[in-house]
Amino acid sequence: MRAFVTFLGCKVNQYETELIIEQLERAGIVVSSQPVDVDICVVNTCMVTNEAARQSRQLLRKLRRMNPDALVIATGCYPHLDALSIKDCGVDLVLGNREKKELVKHINEWFRNKEQKVLISQPDYEISEQVSSFLADRVRAYVKVQDGCDEYCTYCIVPLARGRKIRSKPTQVVIREVKNLVNSGYKEIVLTGVNLGRYGRDIDTSLAHLVRRLLNEVVEDFRIRLSSINVQDISAELIELFKNNEKLCPHLHIPIQSGSNKILKAMNRSYTVEQALALFERLRSLDPFFSITTDIIVGFPGETIGDFEETLALVKRAMFSRVHAFKYSDRPNTPASRMRHKVPPEEKDRRMKLLREIAEKVAADYRAASVGKIRTVLVEMNKDGVSYGYDQYYVRHEFVSLSTNVLAKVVVKKPNGAGVVSQVVSLEKSVVD
């Protein structure tokens, strides 16, 4: 039996896609990298915005067309939003986030009676699963340490699919999982969660504590990166860990969403622009290059030109090294979807374009400032004699090297497109692959 598995959305979904692949492989199913001549297609869907939902439906329809006789499964977040519209995309099995943990059981059942089914249970399940490899990316592994979100951002539908209860993976389990991945050659571990900053609240610990233990107990040559974390969850203890710690990448993804306090309030985000700027200053006092990437929503209901200009001003002031810009999208039954003063689509497009232009300029300045500096790059790929990889600040480098999956010290030579060109100074460790 052969299967094709793919996903949309965030790193958590990507991690869970790896779990799906491992389940299938353990059951003797061959996982193919192409959706041709397969018996099963699995799409791990997303629905955070209208666009993500549309892409999920489109992908399922396409896979159905390509594989008229295959078992087509939709799992992930979309089924929690609307099982019927996803079923209509030629899907045989619609499974929720909890159900994807027992995918093989559902597949076997389907092959017994070939009955179309929708199974979506409450997503508040405990998490203790572990992956042993990460196929999508051979040098960097994402490790999901937490699930669920107990905040009430007025635009966000994610808690519907992920649950409102914070669930954290026990520290010992995370340590074991990270050790296994590092021992099998992964040089960068990215800790992820639906709301990563809340890690540990349910099990009487914290993200800072988890990171400290990982830094102390996983002695091999590797580095840790943290994924998205909110302003209010970046504790003094966590910041301390970034001091003189080569193993912890000086990069945080801090979704700011808006540069207007009025809009932040309407979004029910529990920080102000001033608090965020003070935090950024603190991080940059540890390292002037400390990399801060962010998410911004443009065209939230009630966002005036003035509010939007405050966002542009913040992007410049905060010197974000990368901005993920989202057009506000009404999600069903969210408080924001009922708000008045919606921004017209053309205006959202205009603001989006302006934001992208400014964000790109700010990011280019950030990269240009690194010329002459030494960086540590994880070499991911070699093509035609050129190597590619990201440094600790999440800047993309290209340079001449010989091997992949090594942490290489390079010196930045010049900016280049969305990254920089650099030159190898030394390779820290020999080749592993």
Binding site for ligand 5AD (CB under 6 A): 48-49, 155-156, 255, 257, 295, 297, 326, 328-329, 331
Shortest Cβ 81–ligand 5AD spacing (Å): 12
- Take residue 61 and report the two structure tokens written for it: 């329809």
Q: How many CB atoms lie within 10 A of CB 419?
A: 17
Nearer to ligand 5AD, 135 or 358 (CB): 358
**CA 273 to CA 280: how far, in whole Å?**
11
Task: Name the binder of 194 from ligand 5AD, ligand SF4, none, CB < 5-8 A by kind.
Answer: ligand SF4
* Under 8 Å between Cβ of 121 and 233: no
Nearer to ligand 5AD, 40 or 267 (CB): 267
Task: Name the binder of 161 from ligand 5AD, ligand SF4, none, CB < 5-8 A by kind.
Answer: ligand SF4
Helix (H, G, I), strand (E, B) or coil at 258: coil
Task: Name the binder of 191 from ligand SF4, ligand 5AD, none, CB < 5-8 A by kind.
Answer: none
Nearer to ligand SF4, 52 or 355 (CB): 52
Task: Name the binder of 359 from ligand SF4, ligand 5AD, none, CB < 5-8 A by kind.
Answer: none
Task: Name the binder of 315 from ligand 5AD, ligand SF4, none, CB < 5-8 A by kind.
Answer: none
Task: Name the binder of 162 from ligand SF4, ligand 5AD, none, CB < 5-8 A by kind.
Answer: ligand SF4
Shortest Cβ 274–ligand SF4 spacing (Å): 28
Task: Name the binder of 328 from ligand 5AD, ligand SF4, none, CB < 5-8 A by kind.
Answer: ligand 5AD
Cβ-in-10-Å burial (0-12, 13-18, 19+) of 274 comes to exposed
**CA 210 to CA 231: how far, in whole Å?**
18
Shortest Cβ 366–ligand 5AD spacing (Å): 20
Nearer to ligand SF4, 12 or 276 (CB): 12
Nearer to ligand 5AD, 243 or 353 (CB): 353
- Take residue 177 and report the two structure tokens written for it: 């999982």
Shortest Cβ 122–ligand 5AD spacing (Å): 21
Amino acid letter at 333?
N
DSSP 77-144: SHHHH-HHHHHTTT-SEEE-TTGGGGHHHHHHHHHHH---EEE---S--------S--TT-SSEEEEE
Nearer to ligand 5AD, 50 or 205 (CB): 50
Nearer to ligand SF4, 100 or 397 (CB): 100
Helix (H, G, I), strand (E, B) or coil at 284: helix
Q: How many CB atoms lie within 10 A of CB 246?
A: 11
- Take residue 170 and report the two structure tokens written for it: 């026990």
Nearer to ligand 5AD, 162 or 223 (CB): 162
Q: How many CB atoms lie within 10 A of CB 394?
A: 17
Instruction: Give residue for tokens 């709301």.
Output: 195
DSSP designation for 3: E
Shortest Cβ 21–ligand SF4 spacing (Å): 16
Task: Name the binder of 168 from ligand 5AD, ligand SF4, none, CB < 5-8 A by kind.
Answer: none
Largest CA distance in the chain: 65
Shortest Cβ 157–ligand 5AD spacing (Å): 7
The residues that touch ligand SF4, with contacts defined as CB under 6 A, are: 9-10, 12-13, 46-48, 52, 76-77, 158, 161-162, 194
- Take residue 86 and report the two structure tokens written for it: 């996803």
